[in-house]
Structure 1
Amino acid sequence: MSDLWDGALIDATIWHGRSGDVSRQFRYRATYLATPLAALEDARLPLAPDRAGLWSLRRRDYGFCDGRPLQDFIAAQLDPHGLAHCDVTLITLPRTSGYGFNPVSFWLARDERGLRAVLAEVSNTFGERHLYLCRHPDNRPITRSDRLSGEKLFHVSPFLPRGGSYRFRFHPGPDRFGAWIDWLGADGSLRLGTAMTGPARALTRTSLRRAMLRHPMQSQKVIGLIYWQALKLAARGVAYRRKPEQLARTRSDASETTES
């Protein structure tokens, strides 16, 4: 059985479903990396940070650490909340053929009792990012049925307002990963549902090489699909919203437990 904390490839299906002003659904597939940070930084995985290749991971693509070790960045997010003891695995899309765009990466923090926190790092197509730290206020383990909510403070889509709230749910494996992020409007109604789910398989030199050769332009495909869906929404008359100035607050919490 593959384990996300040993290093894995996740063959994910990504789904978006919009309701309200217009009803629209779309889905696509992508292969994500699950990389234990300790093994990644110590070069014990088939993929090393800041090394060129068909697939690559670049430190400065993550957090606000300007190329410093990824472990330093995530420690700065977790340590103030009493989570310094946790092991961390980063689930992310790699750069492909030199190009990278991650709609969202997930930093999973766990200990022997289970998943304690998830840092969702959300990026938009304007080169901005925001961090949502999902955890219970008392740091009890996050279960598969828990729904953690927080205010939406980051502009992602030009077809949605910045307000409202997000509701997060996670399936932390070990042999698969699932993340569900719902956007609720100011009135509390569900307006957009998203999901990323898929099984995990072992990350080896052979499996990585095959994935690289099969998906050498994966990030380019993802950004192309985003723009293609935007054109479809515009064609259906959905209003385009100008990007507001990003808020000075670039990290927020999602810790309120809500019902489904």
Structure 2
Amino acid sequence: MTGTAGTGAALYECVIAHARTTPLRDSFRHRTYLWYVDLDRLPVLLRPLRPLARFDARDHFGGGAHSLRAGLDAFLADHGIDLDGGRVTMLAHARVFGFVFNPLTVYWCHDRSDALLCVVAEVHNTYGQRHCYLLRTSEAGEAEVDKEFYVSPFFAVEGRYRMRLPLPGDRLLLSVHLETEEGRAFSAVVRGRRRPATAAALLSAAARRPWSTAAVWAGIHRRGVRLLLRGLPVHPRPRSAPQEGTLS
């Protein structure tokens, strides 16, 4: 195989912007690339390219399913939803050289008629935990949901997320805003441009962003140190939190 022909997979070269407004203002941007794949047609790369992208069921949901699709279907079944074999697409980082960190993975879930039935937003924190939000989005891809999961040590588990997660097209534009009693506390916006997931495109993206997922993880930690040095108070992590799994 010289690429991912026949899988429908795509790569998005992205700029991700984060901004917090309370109790102090801070913002940063970083560049990365994300995969957009069909869970039933995951790309199979040539052997020399496989270290650059691997999709493992252990990295999502409970981590014990035999496939990503099985993990998603089990999560949906727990919420009374049966896609009846409908198509599911996912936007995420792949494992690169054996490491992956996905602050946000998004699944667009269709029924057998290919109508969008729901969206699942899977959030990972840097403590090895993850939690999924089941969303019923509007035609514009918008939904709101109460925050239920500890993500940043600088925010308590309170407030409400306002998300906009439309299906990716030639352009990608996703946003997540955290609203609290004091107003909008945090925003994350993902912008990207679609490219076919060919071998050449993957090599080009990997050359520009080597160790892409490790860079995201390291960047979050560097930002955390900076915020600590600026005196931002820390909210202790709850002893127990709703989560679908612990990362391996």
- TM bucket by the smaller chain? 0.7 to 0.9
How far residue 76 of structure 1 moved from its aligned partner, in angstroms, is: 2.1
Q: Give yes or no for contact 2:163–2:176 (8 Å, CA) kept in 1.
A: yes
Quick one: distance in 2 between partners of 1:19 and 1:59? 36
| 1:69-90 Cα shifts (integer Å, max 9, x gaps) | 1111112233522433431111
Q: Give the aligned partner of residue 126 of structure 1.
A: 127
- For the pair 1:163 / 2:161, whether they are aligned, the reply is no
SS in 2 for 1:56: coil
The aligned runs of 1:18-167 (5 Å cut-off) are 18-40=20-42, 45-47=43-45, 53-79=51-77, 80-110=80-110, 114-136=115-137, 142-144=138-140, 146-167=141-162
Distance 1:20-1:213 versus aligned 2 partners, 3 A rule: closer
2:215 is aligned, of 217, 221, 228, to: 221
1:212 is aligned, of 206, 212, 233, to: 206
| 1:148-196 Cα shifts (integer Å, max 9, x gaps) | 11111100000111111111112313223222111111x1621111111
How far residue 230 of structure 1 moved from its aligned partner, in angstroms, is: 0.8
Letter of the structure 1 residue corresponding to residue 10 of structure 2:
A
Quick one: distance in 1 between partners of 2:170 and 2:85? 23
- For the pair 1:234 / 2:228, whether they are aligned, the reply is yes
Moved more, 22-31 or 91-100: 91-100
How far residue 46 of structure 1 moved from its aligned partner, in angstroms, is: 4.0
Task: List runs of 5+ in structure 1 lacking aligned partners.
Answer: 137-141, 252-260
- For the pair 1:178 / 2:173, whether they are aligned, the reply is yes
Task: List runs of 5+ in structure 2 lacking aligned partners.
Answer: 1-6
How far residue 228 of structure 1 moved from its aligned partner, in angstroms, is: 1.2
Q: Give the aligned partner of residue 11 of structure 1.
A: 13
Quick one: distance in 2 between partners of 1:90 and 1:231? 31
Quick one: distance in 1 between partners of 2:118 and 2:13? 23
Between the aligned residues of both structures, percent identity stands at 27
- For the pair 1:250 / 2:243, whether they are aligned, the reply is yes
| 1:114-161 Cα shifts (integer Å, max 9, x gaps) | 53321111011110110011115xxxxx322x5311111100000111
Shift >4 Å, 4+ stretches: 111-114
RMSD, aligned CA: 2.2
Letter of the structure 2 residue corresponding to residue 224 of structure 1:
A
| 1:64-114 Cα shifts (integer Å, max 9, x gaps) | 142511111112233522433431111111222222111111111235665
Q: Give the aligned partner of residue 3 of structure 2.
A: none
Moved more, 197-206 or 75-84: 75-84
SS in 1 for 2:40: helix
Q: Give the aligned partner of residue 257 of structure 1.
A: none
Distance 1:110-1:171 versus aligned 2 partners, 3 A rule: same
SS in 2 for 1:213: helix
SS in 1 for 2:41: helix
Q: Give yes or no for contact 1:46–1:205 (8 Å, CA) kept in 2.
A: no
SS in 2 for 1:197: strand
Q: Give yes or no for contact 1:121–1:130 (8 Å, CA) kept in 2.
A: yes
How far residue 52 of structure 1 moved from its aligned partner, in angstroms, is: 5.0
